[in-house]
Structure 1
């Protein structure tokens, strides 16, 4: 039929490809317990005095036991790329304060919360192939099958992902997974601290993940520029909008905001590593 939507055939191909990969990624492991469901760790707001002293505070997400000790000290970080990182931080700081934060604040004020939630759902659904492929690479068959089911359900019943009936009706919660999670699972360290333009604090492992996420994102193949650039820019804006005001609040806490944000990021890395160690210990203790 010539009257079909232009996205229909590409999305059908994605669903078909995902289904084939799922068959080989261990869907038979659905009965195995899965605890490491994609979690997002946000650096806690550490008092400036503690940040200056290099103290990392670990704040467990809701529903996850605290890792002991909850306060961990570390020596001064050797920042081999500090010159480049400071230049990128200055660029980002100007972009955030004079462009992104005003745009994000306007977006929050003008667009009602239910609409923003639907937009967020849409982009999460669009990025499900990223989560699925990394679930498969991590041999997490149950999570891969869950994300495959979510993609099919939300792309159809959820009106192209604007709603999340997979979670609301079927109890299939989102299981985020990116390539840095895959690298971490197989023992890759985070490398050096790195500040990326617009994306901010990162590291070598996370930066590699950003590249792979680009090539696994369906938008890369479903659209041409400038539409592709516009969609990805809007995705970044809506994702950033929830943290826009928090940036200025944190920035004012230190005379050297570069060190502040660097230490907060390193703090989150240590927290991730501590949770990973606890999970590995729990697995090794199982009979």
Structure 2
């Protein structure tokens, strides 16, 4: 059911006007106050972190001259749905998971899913014309699937120094000059964009789970994968949301800041 929903969102995004909306003449900071546009899109308008924010959770929110959010009303509705789902379901479950599951077990679960998704990284490295990291990923897969007991352990890194080299179709598109398109909020997945949404669809079909299992087992496995990645970040969302008067604007600007940072350093 997720794929048709994503396809609808992507189709809507393609048909939308990419220019800024009239109401986007001013940007809000983390406290909901209006900010003038900076002189250029890459000139940051730093906002001091909210008072009392925990160390390591001090984002500098950027005001953008040309951010693209033509689906603002749809995005806000999905954000509101996600926000309720996070606060009353996923965050409590995530906190419980972190408290109950020992770190070694959590690392082994993460290792297993990373190893399982090796075809995603290998194919995208091939598309990016990077044969060396593709080869290292395949070598890691062979070592960790056998010596690492189906990927639960990571002897490839521990014994041979083969570090993880994760990538996805979003990075492939970015490498060929594709922009982020427009801002999207996806159900459950949260802040995203047209490029990342397309990446989720393509990488979904590169995941071996799609071909090795059938529903409902497939959905359960992919749900566990998503949850084990999300759980350690659950409290971070809660803390940031509590410090923002307009959570939608805050998380949108924070996400787009990351998009611009990645574009600058790739």
Q: Report the Cα offset of residue 77 of structure 1.
A: 3.0
CA distance in 2, matches of 1:195, 1:265: 11
* Structure 2 counterpart of 1:257, from 247, 256, 264: 247
Q: Deviations over 1:116-173 (max 9, x none)?
A: 0100111111111100000000010100000000111111111000001111111111
- Aligned match of 1:81: 71
Contact 2:156 2:162 in 1 (8 A): yes
Q: Does 1:161 align with 2:151?
A: yes
Q: Deviations over 1:184-242 (max 9, x none)?
A: 00001110000000000000000000001110001111111111111111111100011
Secondary structure of the residue aligned to 2:160 is coil
Secondary structure of the residue aligned to 1:48 is coil
CA distance in 2, matches of 1:72, 1:256: 15
Q: Deviations over 1:72-115 (max 9, x none)?
A: 76326342010110011011001101111111111111110110
- Report matched runs for 1:126-165 at 5 Å: 126-165=116-155
CA distance in 1, matches of 2:228, 2:218: 16
- Report matched runs for 1:187-202 at 5 Å: 187-202=177-192
Please report the RMSD computed on the Cα atoms of aligned residues, expressed in angstroms.
2.0
- Aligned match of 1:121: 111
Secondary structure of the residue aligned to 1:195 is strand
CA distance in 1, matches of 2:139, 2:32: 45
Runs of at least 5 residues in structure 2 that lack an aligned partner in the other structure: 1-28, 38-43, 47-59
Deviation >2 Å, runs of 4+: 47-57, 70-78
* Structure 1 counterpart of 2:223, from 224, 233, 249: 233
Q: Closer, same or farther in 2 for the Cα pair 1:207/1:51, shift >3 Å?
A: farther
CA distance in 1, matches of 2:148, 2:45: 41
Secondary structure of the residue aligned to 1:198 is coil
- Aligned match of 2:161: 171
Q: Report the Cα offset of residue 49 of structure 1.
A: 5.2
- Report matched runs for 1:36-75 at 5 Å: 48=30, 53=35, 55=44, 74-75=64-65
- Aligned match of 2:10: none
CA distance in 1, matches of 2:137, 2:110: 16
CA distance in 2, matches of 1:186, 1:204: 15
Equivalent residues, number: 218
Contact 1:147 1:174 in 2 (8 A): yes
